[in-house]
Amino acid sequence: MKIHELLAAGEFPNCSVLAGVFEVSYKTVQRDIDFMRDQLLLPIDYDMGRHGFRYTKPVNRFPMMTVSQGELVALLVAQKAVEQYRGTSFEAPLRSAFEKLASSLDSETSISLHELSDAVSFRPSGVPVSELKVYEKLAEAVLKSEVLEFDYLGLHASKPGRRRVEPLHLSCIADQWYLIANDQVRAAKRTFALTRIRKVKNLKRVFRKPAGFSLTQMLEDSFSAFEAREPIQVKIRFTPFAARIVSERKWHKSQKLAATPDGGAVLTMQVGLAPDLEKWILGWADSAEVLEPASLRKKIGLRAAKLASLYR
């Protein structure tokens, strides 16, 4: 793409100069130019007088490679995924990015993409309301390792509290964006939902990221988005109806499913106890019963009792 930009701008780049710019060998640059000319059929010629390459006729856009059927479906999925952000501040930039990708495909491929679009769709629910400006500020701070301050409304808080954090990672978990950061006041890693972050201020103060930080390792024993330091064995019994649905998905890497005589199943996981796990269990209503541990069984029972009292 850089070579294309230089050629389109009439800069007359040559292999020696490009090799120095990209810190690669002379032969590597020559192979790239040969590929552009012979495989992508770009009108490249060497100008002896200017000692560099040029386009012999205008090139409006850089041609994309031929894509496979599988890659085309993946592109379609990306386009359909944009639909869940319809009406939010993310819609315009996402749609613009996808249209740029789609416009690079030839007409035959575009027709195929249109045909596939009629066969696949997404119906999102509970789409989080996120501010694009907030996301952009957080992403910039993560990339530059700069300290942030923002107001954050915790789930059990009555009013927002000011936080000062070292942003480490942005992650989309179960269709919800989260910021993983070191909270300087609490001296611990915390997970913040973007929908509850307000009044972001970048302090322009660079911090040193912890060596070896990995979101995968951090959430290794978690059920979803909440970090869990002490995984414990969790057993849940499902009715025959629910067991059929549970068996169709991978809920956690440690899960084991054992059938019961009545056609149901018992799901066993080594996972940390956290609000997202409790919410998932309660979502099954009377189709799921916690068998272990006793502390989780008691907590779910209390929540169920409160729920039942609402409908008496």
pLDDT at position 305 is 93
311 compared with 90, residue with greater pLDDT: 311
The CA-based dihedral angle spanning residues 77, 81, 86, 91, taken in that order and rounded to the nearest 10 degrees = -90
State how far the alpha carbon of 295 is from the alpha carbons of 78, 234, 257, 302, in Å: 42, 10, 22, 11
Residue 243, class by beta-carbon neighbours within 10 Å (0-12 exposed, 13-18 middle, 19+ buried)?
buried
Predicted confidence (pLDDT) per residue in 118-162, tens digit: 666 666 666 566 677 888 889 889 989 999 999 998 877 889 999
Are 179 and 192 within 8 A, CB to CB?
A: yes
Cis preceding-peptide flag for 293 (omega within 30 of 0): yes
Per-chain mean pLDDT for the chain: 83
Are 287 and 241 within 8 A, CB to CB?
A: yes
The CATH number that domain 2-55 falls under is 1.10.10
Nearest CA among 203, 229, 232, 202 for reference residue 217 = 229
Map out the domains of the chain as residue ranges: 2-55, 69-117, 132-218, 232-310
Per-residue pLDDT at 237 exceeds 90: yes
Q: How far out from the chain centre does Cα 13 lie?
A: 38
Nearest CA among 276, 302, 278 for reference residue 288 = 278
pLDDT at position 253 is 85
Nearest CA among 174, 173, 99, 177 for reference residue 137 = 177
Kindly give the pairing relationship between strand 188-193 and strand 265-271: unpaired
pLDDT at position 92 is 73
Per-residue pLDDT at 233 exceeds 90: yes
pLDDT at position 226 is 74
Q: How far out from the chain centre does Cα 258 lie?
A: 32
Distance CA 257, CA 265 (A): 6
Predicted confidence (pLDDT) per residue in 14-71, tens digit: 999 899 888 889 999 999 999 888 888 899 999 999 999 999 998 877 776 555 666 6
Predicted confidence (pLDDT) per residue in 159-214, tens digit: 999 999 999 988 887 777 889 999 998 888 888 988 899 999 999 999 988 877 77
Residue 238's CB is within 10 A of a number of other CB atoms, namely 21
Are 74 and 63 within 8 A, CB to CB?
A: no
User: pLDDT > 90: what percent of the chain?
Assistant: 39
74 compared with 32, residue with greater pLDDT: 32
Segment 101-118 mean pLDDT: 58
pLDDT at position 68 is 61
115 compared with 82, residue with greater pLDDT: 82
Are 88 and 126 within 8 A, CB to CB?
A: no
pLDDT at position 281 is 92
pLDDT at position 287 is 94
Distance CA 287, CA 77 (A): 32
Distance CA 203, CA 206 (A): 9
Distance CA 236, CA 240 (A): 13
pLDDT at position 223 is 80
CATH number belonging to the domain at 132-218, selected among 3.40.1350, 2.30.30, 1.20.120, 2.130.10:
2.30.30
Predicted confidence (pLDDT) per residue in 250-298, tens digit: 888 889 999 999 999 999 999 888 888 898 999 999 999 999 999 999 9
Distance CA 35, CA 294 (A): 65
State how far the alpha carbon of 53 is from the alpha carbons of 11, 36, 58, 144, in Å: 8, 12, 14, 37
Residue 153's CB is within 10 A of a number of other CB atoms, namely 15
Distance CA 283, CA 245 (A): 13
